Amino acid sequence: MPSDRLPSEITAPEEPRVTPAGVDADALLQASPNPYVILDPALTIVGMNEAYLRVTMRKRADILGRNMFEAFPSDPDAVNGRQLRMSFERVLRDKRTDHLPLIRYDIPRAGGEGFEERFWSATHTPLLDAGGEVSHILQHTVDVTELQRLRQLAHAGIGAAGPSALVESDVFARAEAVQSENMALADEGRRLRALFEQAPGFMALLQGPRHVFELANAAYLRLVGNRDVQGKAVRDALPDVAGQGFFELLDRVYATGVPYVGAGMRVRLQGDPGGEADDRFVDFIYQPIRDPSGRVAGIFVQGHDITEQKRAEQALQRLNATLEDEVAERTRELRERDEALRQAQKMEVVGQLTGGVAHDFNNLLQVVVGNLEILQRNLPPETARLRRAAENAMTGARRAATLTQRLLAFSRRQPLDPRPLSPNKLVSDMSELLHRTLGETVAVETVLAAGLWLVDADANQLESAVLNLAVNARDAMPGGGKLTIETANTRIDEAYAAQHAEVTPGQYVVICVSDTGTGMSKDTIARAFEPFFTTKEAGKGTGLGLSMVYGFVKQSGGHVKIYSELGHGTCVRIYLPRFLGSLEQDPVADVAAIPEGTHDETVLVVEDDDDVRTYSVEILRELGYRVVEAHDGASALRLLERQARVDLLFTDVVLPGGVTGADLAREALALRPGLSVLFTTGYARDAIVHHGRLDPGVHLITKPFSYADLAQKVRDVLDAEQQSQA
């Protein structure tokens, strides 16, 4: 038995030296019957005495220079091995003696065959160097295996009253108390560690002025992309955080001991190892941790990743911002609507006023004109001066009547004679009048939509509305320019209708009169429809032209709108509601208008679209032509070879089967040199139209064409051919 001395009797390092002069400390240690082993801070065995070798049954050479746990391997997860490790750690950290009253630490049998069960009581004493750091640990072990066996026997009821009872009450009672306390502490440590590990917030413990990670929980590691931070200084562990102020904050907290609380702070971090840096938002505290002497020894970091919350907030903010925009937009719309309504009401009031005046004025004019007529009829022929005076008076009265008419039109009180009509026809019929009115310097172009709907309107008034717009356009282009009249089907949607007073959503025909003239300022646009508003010099304009247009269109259930930009030109759009019935037949006029065939002229119709071909064939037969038909170029050529008489080849430009309309025409003319050719096309104008003009002898009708269009065109082409042959 090596020794029965209690560990507490070992000399503590801070006590004065006890070895008498002349006695070698090493020899003393060697002579001691108690086993001693000396470890360095890395737990390498650097020395031991004979007693130690005896109790551990080892040779010096086998264990010297080896790690304690390598020299005496045990199951590292076993409680006792861990207790031993923890005791060493405490000594190194606290620089104080640590006791392990009773641990089971089995040692390999001398023969190398398995382990032998051993119980020990150990004391670990730090040996400090001149700087106060732990340079070595002195382990003093007492082999208490025999005592433990005795105790086990006592428990089993053998020799209960023997010396073991005494041992029981003394050594083991103390040992057990300390040990169970240690175990409880270890348990508590584990529980705290588990709590720390599982805490929802992030936590880390940084040690020393370089902020070395001593602990970091799972949430913290998640935040930093599961990097291995343990044992590293923050600047080394998280290099991507450099330059964002966090390290400097840590330095400050460490230096001043004043905690720092950060709220909603942005940190740019690599969320994935090697991945893109990512913005995270964190709430956190840097809490200085003090050692027993009160000096700051580390910093406890604790906080929450609030990135998701922050993103949600930002999304909400964006939503709010757009909401503001939307409200602003709605407000603007409302204001515009208000303005439009106010304008419409003003026009209404002015209309009522002028309407009343005009009505009375008309009656007065009736009297004036009637009496002037009586005067003119009854003035004797020799009173030439008086006659001239009456004539002048009459001219003035008629002009006054025209003005009055316009005023009535503006006030929407003129008698209208609405009938279903095609705006396209009305515009085409006006072309002669327009050319005459506008003069040489203004080019007129009409762009008439195919398949235009009908409207129900007063033709004369619509004509004078278009004429008024054309005259305004001319006046705005003193140096000449271009007037375009365009027609189209259109839909006024709810949104547009909401922006304009007195406008109902629905289908409309729009007639757009545009010019390349001076354009109008915003103010002029705002006032242009007002009666008597003119920018023209006195005597040049009455300011009633647009008023008339406005009144007439409104009275017809339509809408009129000016688009204009100073220096660029003006476009006035007249919207008239679509009329869903058909044109009233005027049998005399219609029969007279449509030119027919002679019942012996033959037309070859080449068209691959069955519907279009059937339609064309039907029209032509109805018009008095003989018709033969083909669906492609090859069969058309075969027909030409067989058919006795063909006066006109009417072919689509685009044909299937490799022979185009142009190819067909060329070969057909080679077969029959006098043949007339009329092309039709839905697009591909360029295939036969060069430089905007048709090649000589080539005629073209664009799809979709109407009955009347085709009748006219076919007649024209045949007549032209006859003339050239005559």
Q: Applying CB under 6 A, which residues contact ligand ATP?
A: 472-473, 476, 515, 517-520, 524, 528, 533-536, 541-547, 570
What does 74 bind: ligand ATP, Mg ion, none (CB cut-off 5 to 8 Å by kind)? none
Beta strands in 520-674 (DSSP E): 559-565, 569-579, 602-606, 626-630, 648-652
717 within 8 A of 674, measured Cβ to Cβ:
no
CB of 610 to ligand ATP, least distance (A): 47
286 within 8 A of 253, measured Cβ to Cβ:
yes
Closest to ligand ATP by CB, 517 vs 661, is 517
CB of 564 to ligand ATP, least distance (A): 6
CB of 460 to ligand ATP, least distance (A): 17
Closest to ligand ATP by CB, 526 vs 700, is 526
CB of 342 to Mg ion, least distance (A): 24
What does 652 bind: Mg ion, ligand ATP, none (CB cut-off 5 to 8 Å by kind)? none
How many angstroms from the chain centroid is the CA of residue 243? 33
CB of 532 to ligand ATP, least distance (A): 8
CB of 451 to Mg ion, least distance (A): 32
Which residue number has the CB closest to ligand ATP? Answer: 545
Closest to ligand ATP by CB, 563 vs 615, is 563
Please state at what angle helix 707-725 crosses helix 610-622, rounded to 10 degrees. Answer: 70
CB of 538 to Mg ion, least distance (A): 15
φ/ψ bin of 22: left (φ > 0), alpha (ψ from -120 to 50), beta (otherwise) = left
CB of 468 to ligand ATP, least distance (A): 6
Amino acid code (one letter) for 581: G
Residues 6+ apart with CB under 8 A from 124: 87, 88, 91, 97, 98, 99, 100, 137, 138, 139
Residue 283, strand partner residues: 304
3-class SS string, 360-428: HHHHHHHHHHHHHHHHHHHCCCCCHHHHHHHHHHHHHHHHHHHHHHHHHHHCCCCCCCEEEECHHHHHH
Please state at what angle helix 384-410 crosses helix 307-378, rounded to 10 degrees. Answer: 160
What does 536 bind: Mg ion, ligand ATP, none (CB cut-off 5 to 8 Å by kind)? ligand ATP
What does 438 bind: Mg ion, ligand ATP, none (CB cut-off 5 to 8 Å by kind)? none
| Chain residues in the site for Mg ion (CB under 5 A) | 472, 545
134 within 8 A of 95, measured Cβ to Cβ:
yes
CB of 403 to ligand ATP, least distance (A): 9
CB of 660 to ligand ATP, least distance (A): 45
Which residue number has the CB closest to Mg ion? Answer: 545
Residues 6+ apart with CB under 8 A from 189: none
Beta strands in 410-558 (DSSP E): 418-421, 442-447, 454-458, 481-492, 506-515
CB of 315 to Mg ion, least distance (A): 56
CB of 348 to ligand ATP, least distance (A): 17
DSSP symbol at 692: T
CA distances from 144 to 101, 167, 170, 232, 646 (A): 10, 11, 13, 42, 134
602 within 8 A of 625, measured Cβ to Cβ:
yes
Closest to Mg ion by CB, 424 vs 542, is 542
Instruction: Give the 3-state secondary structure of residue 75.
Output: coil
What does 511 bind: Mg ion, ligand ATP, none (CB cut-off 5 to 8 Å by kind)? none
What does 476 bind: ligand ATP, Mg ion, none (CB cut-off 5 to 8 Å by kind)? ligand ATP
Closest to Mg ion by CB, 472 vs 660, is 472
Closest to ligand ATP by CB, 481 vs 633, is 481
What does 533 bind: Mg ion, ligand ATP, none (CB cut-off 5 to 8 Å by kind)? ligand ATP
What does 434 bind: ligand ATP, Mg ion, none (CB cut-off 5 to 8 Å by kind)? none
455 within 8 A of 420, measured Cβ to Cβ:
yes
Closest to ligand ATP by CB, 56 vs 542, is 542
Amino acid code (one letter) for 552: F
| Lateral strand order in the sheet of 277-290 | 212-216, 202-207, 296-305, 277-290, 260-270
What does 426 bind: ligand ATP, Mg ion, none (CB cut-off 5 to 8 Å by kind)? none
Closest to ligand ATP by CB, 198 vs 402, is 402
What does 557 bind: ligand ATP, Mg ion, none (CB cut-off 5 to 8 Å by kind)? none
What does 542 bind: Mg ion, ligand ATP, none (CB cut-off 5 to 8 Å by kind)? ligand ATP
What does 544 bind: Mg ion, ligand ATP, none (CB cut-off 5 to 8 Å by kind)? ligand ATP
Closest to ligand ATP by CB, 545 vs 577, is 545
Closest to ligand ATP by CB, 533 vs 615, is 533
Closest to ligand ATP by CB, 303 vs 551, is 551
701 within 8 A of 652, measured Cβ to Cβ:
no
Closest to Mg ion by CB, 547 vs 651, is 547
CA distances from 91 to 47, 88, 123, 179 (A): 18, 5, 10, 17
Closest to Mg ion by CB, 68 vs 520, is 520
Give the count of beta carbons closer than 10 Å to the beta carbon of residue 290. Answer: 11
CB of 541 to Mg ion, least distance (A): 6
CA distances from 27 to 17, 23, 31, 50 (A): 16, 8, 6, 11
What does 428 bind: ligand ATP, Mg ion, none (CB cut-off 5 to 8 Å by kind)? none
702 within 8 A of 680, measured Cβ to Cβ:
yes
* CA quadruple 150, 152, 158, 162: dihedral sign: positive
In angstroms, the CA 682 to CA 703 distance is: 5
CB of 517 to ligand ATP, least distance (A): 5
Closest to Mg ion by CB, 87 vs 472, is 472
3-class SS string, 296-337: EEEEEEEEEECHHHHHHHHHHHHHHHHHHHHHHHHHHHHHHH
In angstroms, the CA 516 to CA 534 distance is: 19
What does 524 bind: ligand ATP, Mg ion, none (CB cut-off 5 to 8 Å by kind)? ligand ATP
What does 405 bind: Mg ion, ligand ATP, none (CB cut-off 5 to 8 Å by kind)? none
Closest to ligand ATP by CB, 125 vs 472, is 472
CB of 534 to Mg ion, least distance (A): 7
